[in-house]
Amino acid sequence: MQLALAQGTERPKVARRTMVLFCGDHGVTEEGVSAFPKAVTGQMVANFLKGGAAINVLCKQVGMEKLIVDCGVDGVPVAGTVDRWLGRGTANFVKGPAMSGGQVERALENGAALAQGLDCDVAAVGEMGIGNTTAASALLCAYCGVAAEEAVGAGTGLDEAGMRRKAEVVGRGLVRHAGVTDAMGILGAFAGFEMATMAGFFLGAAERGLPVVVDGFIASAAALAARAIDRRVMPYLVFSHVSAERPHRRLLAELGVRPVLDLDLRLGEGSGAALAIPVLEAAVALYEGMATFGEAGVG
């Protein structure tokens, strides 16, 4: 029903699907919030392009096209990606806004234009960006009033001490931007370029009637930002799964949504969104092909 309403038809389709991976670096990694260095973002983008990552395998498995979008990986724009580059990663949000107002606007415009230009029945989104679970935690706190200690998880593999440090960094960021209360301002204060571009993608998809399958914690935080900007985006978003990242379940509860899967995934990359595609496909197949009781002579 959600797919039919989003597409504006009694016969929804999911045959043509595209995975869009948004990539960018984060200045908050200066604070030691990740188990991996910032350079891993660019290395993983290269791996996506070579076809060696988990999401490459999953997209091939479920028959999805892929777009790798460089929203702001540290370095020059990467050949082979869709170039929506806004800079060499965001600024450290503990010291100031992660991005300028102009960068927020361009990121949203870039994402909306991507969604408007896709030729598919359903899109799915994933991300790559060392430090982006910290940014997602900060967005959850700022938009929903969640305490920093409740909003952080292990990310790429932090231990308990690492999570305490991460919560302290998020807390300092919240104090630094305590006077920022509008949706766009909060997005600019904390988000990564990839997250802001993804939020724009959600808004653009809703405008054209394109359903989008949302991946894990980071993508859900981008959806939280998109909802804060325009609540009409929500009927177009299908939330694929609840991840093992501790605050993701709380974020989904704040959004008031029920995810398709609950498998304790923590990879990211759009992996959960790819795994949810066959469930959507099955739902449409049942709707199209299953006989009613009347047609089957039952009852």
State the average pLDDT for the chain. Answer: 96
pLDDT digits (tens, 9 = 90+) for 196-232: 999 999 999 999 999 999 999 999 999 999 999 999 9
Show the domain range for 245.
16-289
269 classed as catalytic: yes
Under 8 Å between Cβ of 91 and 27: yes
CA distance 196 to 49: 22
Q: Is residue 59 part of a domain?
A: yes
For the chain, the domain total comes to: 1
Cα torsion angle, 206, 208, 209, 213, sign = negative
pLDDT category at 131 given cuts 50, 70, 90 is: very high
Give 182: exposed, middle or buried? Use CB within 10 Å, 0-12, 13-18, 19+. Answer: exposed
Predicted pLDDT at 158: 87
Question: Which one from 10, 269, 281, 288 is the annotated catalytic residue?
Answer: 269
- Residue 6, in any domain of the structure: no
DSSP state of 162: H
Q: In angstroms, rounded to a whole number, what is the distance separating the alpha carbons of residues 183 and 108?
A: 12
The yes-or-no verdict on residue 299 having pLDDT over 80 is no
Evaluate whether 53 touches 44 at the Cβ level (below 8 Å).
yes
Residues 184/102, Cβ–Cβ less than 8 Å: no
In the numeric block, which tokens belong to residue 146? Answer: 């969640």
Q: Is residue 241 part of a domain?
A: yes
> Which CATH number belongs to the domain containing residue 115 in this structure?
3.40.50.10210
Asked if residue 182 belongs to a domain, the reply is yes
- CA nearest to 133, candidates 156, 102, 159, 103: 156
Give the model's pLDDT for residue 17: 97
164, part of any domain: yes
Q: Would residue 3 count as lying in a domain?
A: no
What percent of the chain is predicted at pLDDT more than 70? 100
Closest CA to 27 of 93, 124, 96, 97: 93
pLDDT tens digits, one per residue of 63-119: 999 999 999 999 878 889 999 999 999 999 999 999 999 999 999 999 999 999 999
Residue 298 lies in a domain: no
State yes or no: pLDDT of 171 exceeds 80.
yes
296 located within any domain:
no
Structure confidence by residue, pLDDT tens digits, 250-290: 999 999 999 999 999 989 999 999 999 999 999 999 999 99
